[in-house]
């Protein structure tokens, strides 16, 4: 919403820029490889997406086996996130994105396989975990299109509020200059909520469950006065500990109403059991 309204941004740091540029370079490298294959790359889908939305499919590859095209996407990810991707599958936000693209491509009339793929590429070393190709199926079409239309309507409502603020400012003397006057309205979507993550607590021999900022917070281009997602910090809400040699979730006092959304995989269970030995 802030981007659509033209809100002021802050100067990005070199680390964030490097991460984004690295992803761009990998996309370019894959496009060069795909030059020798029956594939369409960087396909602009705006015309076939719901009103107000835009997007570009990374690649659409012809499959001789299925006699259909396969929608594919490249995602770079921190190496330490690879075990969770392999265990839990395609990230939720990527599943939504590829579902929207899949329906747009179908609207174009392209014969598609009923699945798509996401190629996850680790940006740093992760022992035992390399690049991974995962399959997914499109989410329910009415849910996807309905959610996209709703968000577009909410954004239009917010932009109308911004326009009204500009109109009010033009009639005031002196005219307001603070960005908050123009861009902070009740119609502005709330800051992205923190997500749960597992963190190994070596001194206690338990897996902490913490609320951490969404991964996109590190790339937020707006000042804290407009969006403070990057200042949320982390907070422990519980832990997985051994009780009678079985991993059990224990809520932190005062956080009992927060249900655990992350679970221990085989590797975490093994580590927890080993710590007790």
User: What CATH number has the domain spanning 14-144?
Assistant: 3.90.320.10
* Three-state DSSP state, 276: helix
Q: Are 74 and 57 in contact (CB under 8 A)?
A: no
The DSSP-derived string for 140-190 is PHHHHHHHHHHHHHHHHHHHHHHHHHHHHHHTSSSPP--HHHHH--TTSPP
Three-state helix/strand/coil letters over 110-150: CCEEEEEEEEEEECCCCCCCCCEEEEECCCCHHHHHHHHHH
* Three-state DSSP state, 80: helix
Q: Is the pLDDT of residue 21 over 80?
A: no
* Mean predicted confidence (pLDDT) in 182-209: 94
Whether the bond into 174 is cis, omega within 30 of 0: yes
* Mean predicted confidence (pLDDT) in 241-258: 93
Phi and psi at 203, nearest 5°, equal: -60, -35
Q: What is the pLDDT of residue 265?
A: 84
| Bridge-based pairing state of the strands 68-77 and 112-122 | parallel
Q: What is the pLDDT of residue 103?
A: 98
Distance CA 28, CA 265 (A): 34
Taking the complete model, does pTM exceed 0.85, yes or no? no
Q: What is the pLDDT of residue 13?
A: 65
Q: What is the pLDDT of residue 26?
A: 65
Q: What is the pLDDT of residue 11?
A: 82
Q: What is the pLDDT of residues 28-60, one digit of tens each?
A: 767 767 667 788 989 999 999 999 999 999 999
Q: Is the pLDDT of residue 12 over 80?
A: no
Taking the domains of the chain in order of start, what are their residue ranges? Answer: 14-144, 195-276
């Amino acid at each position: 919403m802030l981007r659509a309204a033209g809100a002021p941004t802050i100067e990005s740091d070199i680390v964030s820029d490097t991460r984004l540029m690295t992803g761009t370079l990998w996309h370019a490298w894959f496009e060069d490889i795909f030059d020798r294959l029956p594939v369409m790359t960087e396909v602009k889908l705006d015309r076939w997406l719901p009103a107000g939305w835009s997007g570009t499919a990374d690649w659409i590859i012809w499959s001789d086996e299925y006699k259909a095209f396969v929608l594919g996407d490249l995602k770079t990810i921190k190496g330490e996130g690879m075990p969770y991707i392999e265990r839990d599958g395609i990230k939720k936000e990527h599943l939504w994105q590829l579902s929207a693209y899949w329906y747009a491509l179908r609207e174009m009339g392209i014969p598609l396989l009923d699945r798509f793929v996401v190629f996850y590429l680790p940006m740093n070393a992760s022992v035992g975990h390399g690049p991974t190709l995962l399959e997914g199926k499109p989410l329910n079409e009415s849910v996807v299109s309905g959610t996209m239309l709703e968000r577009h309507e909410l954004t239009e409502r917010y932009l109308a509020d911004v326009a009204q603020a500009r109109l009010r400012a033009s009639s005031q003397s002196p005219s307001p200059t603070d960005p908050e006057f123009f861009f902070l309205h009740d119609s502005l979507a709330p800051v992205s909520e923190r997500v749960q993550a597992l963190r190994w607590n070596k001194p206690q021999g338990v897996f902490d469950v913490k609320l951490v900022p969404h991964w996109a917070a590190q790339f937020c281009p707006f000042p804290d006065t407009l969006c403070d997602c990057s200042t949320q910090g982390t907070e422990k809400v519980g832990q997985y500990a051994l009780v009678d040699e079985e991993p059990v979730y224990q809520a932190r006092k005062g956080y009992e109403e927060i249900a655990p959304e992350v679970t221990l995989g085989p590797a975490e269970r093994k580590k927890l059991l080993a710590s007790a030995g």
